[in-house]
């Protein structure tokens, strides 16, 4: 076991440089340390100017997504010991503008997420006195996988389509739309269809499948998109063939 | 790129990396993806050969014999072999991806991925067997 490991970290200080560079830090190697621990060690002991995002340290908040040796990872769940002997390359997520060092701007995703209406839409809310909207375990099972998304943006970083076509709504937003479409309490599928079946929606996806591979919560956005392609295509055929459309 | 993302407009200091033309060589699954997309060319090639065969068949036995002779030239044999390998890659990769797009539920439970893939392969082998039987029956 080595006593230290080298961390090659992207630095980008817009007031000083026009392009990102790498800076190497030698950090103590500990078996129970994840990349985020090493970054925090750098921040606390070696270089306080290094900027990165993190919060929960337990794979729930989705803030600490970065590229580790070229692969998008949650740095709180990626152990140093898996990357020995190093140096370990830590870079900001791809396809998002870099604000500083390892911090990227996610405004684009936030705007797209809102577009797909990721909330329960009811034609008419039932009065409170009638009680809750009940669901069977099987009904929960239909959407539970997609509801595990923590918006960590690893899938956007892994998606070459999003890199080439920034207007693409993208994996997580579509998976989250599907999360509500599959919810037995929701009645908003038709509203979402308009956004999802547009040019920038599901049809931009060419099924590279990398989003599913990098997802730390096993959401399977690639599956969500392909399944929705089937739904949208069926809807289109029905609208074409049935008098009065799909009502 | 169709539209410039609007949010960097007032942030000229934010750094935007461009996707390299060689992005598909960055990791193995990107390369496999691009190869899978490329297989469609070879699928089209076989369709064209099939149409060519039908045309030769319609023109009579002499034209058909000529067609068969041409298929046996080394250049076409080599091309056929390459095309066949690509089509095989096409079939296998797409079969393996079917459970992603096809979610089948039996009595509320999701049918496991391996069963869906297995059924696809089974159907492929049975159909190939039927075709082979019909073609080779008279020999």
The C-alpha atoms of residue A112 and residue A170 are separated, in whole angstroms, by 8
Residues A80 and A197 reside in one and the same domain:
no
Indicate whether B91 belongs to any domain.
Answer: yes
Indicate whether A76 belongs to any domain.
Answer: yes
A88-91 vs A4-11, strand pairing mode:
parallel
As a whole-number percent, the residues of chain B with pLDDT over 70 amount to: 91
Nearest chain A residue to B37, by CA: A206
- pLDDT, tens digit, 9 for 90 and up, residues B45-58: 999 999 999 999 99
Indicate whether A60 belongs to any domain.
Answer: yes
Query: A-chain residues within 8 Å CB-CB of B3?
Result: 166-167
Range of the domain at B64: 6-101
- pLDDT, tens digit, 9 for 90 and up, residues B5-26: 445 556 778 898 888 999 999 8
Query: Residues 55-84, chain B: which have Cβ within 8 Å of A?
Result: none
Indicate whether B63 belongs to any domain.
Answer: yes
pTM above 0.80? yes
Question: Using an 8 Å Cβ cutoff, are A171 and A155 in contact?
Answer: yes
What is the pLDDT, as a whole number, of residue B102? 85
CA B13 to chain A, closest CA, distance in angstroms equals: 6
Q: Is the ipTM of this complex over 0.85?
A: no
The last residue of one of the domains, among A49, A79, A104, is A104
Indicate whether B95 belongs to any domain.
Answer: yes
Q: Report, as ranges of residue numbers, the positions in chain A whose pLDDT lies below 50.
A: none
The C-alpha atoms of residue A101 and residue A15 are separated, in whole angstroms, by 12
Q: What is the CATH number of the domain that holds B93?
A: 1.20.1300.10
The C-alpha atoms of residue A232 and residue A228 are separated, in whole angstroms, by 6
- Interface probe for A, chosen from B3, B4, B7, B30 (most Cβ of A below 10 Å), is B7
Residues A87 and A142 reside in one and the same domain:
no
Task: Decide if A198 touches B, using CB distance below 8 A.
Answer: no
Task: Decide if A164 touches B, using CB distance below 8 A.
Answer: yes
What domain count does chain A have? 2
Nearest chain A residue to B22, by CA: A160
Residues A67 and A189 reside in one and the same domain:
no
What is the pLDDT, as a whole number, of residue B10? 62
- C-beta atoms of A14 and B13 within 8 A: yes
- pLDDT, tens digit, 9 for 90 and up, residues B66-113: 999 999 999 999 999 999 999 999 999 999 999 988 888 888 788 999
What is the pLDDT, as a whole number, of residue B108? 75
The C-alpha atoms of residue B80 and residue B76 are separated, in whole angstroms, by 6
Query: Is B1's pLDDT higher than 70?
Result: no
């Amino acid at each position: 076991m080595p006593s230290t490991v080298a961390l090659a970290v992207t630095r980008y200080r817009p007031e000083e440089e026009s392009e990102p560079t790498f800076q190497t830090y030698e950090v103590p190697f500990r078996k129970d340390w994840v990349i985020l621990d090493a970054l925090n060690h750098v921040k606390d002991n070696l270089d306080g100017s290094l900027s990165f995002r993190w919060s929960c340290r337990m794979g729930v908040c989705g803030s600490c997504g970065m590229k580790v040796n070229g692969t998008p990872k949650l740095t709180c769940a990626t152990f140093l010991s898996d990357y020995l002997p190093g140096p370990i390359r830590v870079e900001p997520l791809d396809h998002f503008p870099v604000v500083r060092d390892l911090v990227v701007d996610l405004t684009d995703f936030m705007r797209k997420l809102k577009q797909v209406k990721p909330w329960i839409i009811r034609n008419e809310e039932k009065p409170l006195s009638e009680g809750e909207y009940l669901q069977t375990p099987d009904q929960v099972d239909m959407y539970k996988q997609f509801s595990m998304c923590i918006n960590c943006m690893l899938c956007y970083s892994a998606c070459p389509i999003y890199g080439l076509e920034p207007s693409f709504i993208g994996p997580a937003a579509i998976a989250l739309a599907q999360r509500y479409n599959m919810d037995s309490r929701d009645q908003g599928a038709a509203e979402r269809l308009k956004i999802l079946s547009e040019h920038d929606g599901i049809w931009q996806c060419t099924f590279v499948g990398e989003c599913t591979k990098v997802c730390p919560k096993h959401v399977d956005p690639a599956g969500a998109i392909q399944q929705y392609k089937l739904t949208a295509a069926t809807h289109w055929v029905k609208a074409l063939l049935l008098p009065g459309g799909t009502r | 790129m169709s539209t410039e993302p609007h949010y960097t407009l007032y942030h000229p200091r934010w750094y935007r990396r461009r996707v390299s033309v060689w992005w598909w060589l960055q990791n193995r699954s990107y390369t496999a993806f691009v190869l899978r997309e490329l297989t469609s060319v070879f699928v089209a090639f076989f369709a064209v050969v099939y149409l060519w065969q039908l045309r030769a068949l319609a023109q009579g036995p002499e034209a058909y014999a000529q067609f068969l002779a041409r298929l046996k030239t080394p250049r076409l044999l080599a091309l056929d072999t390459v095309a066949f390998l690509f089509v095989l890659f096409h079939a296998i990769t797409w079969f393996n991806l079917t459970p992603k797009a096809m979610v089948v539920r039996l009595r509320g439970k999701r049918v496991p991925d391996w069963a869906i893939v297995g059924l696809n392969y089974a159907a492929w082998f049975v159909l190939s067997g039927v075709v082979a039987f019909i073609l080779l029956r008279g020999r």
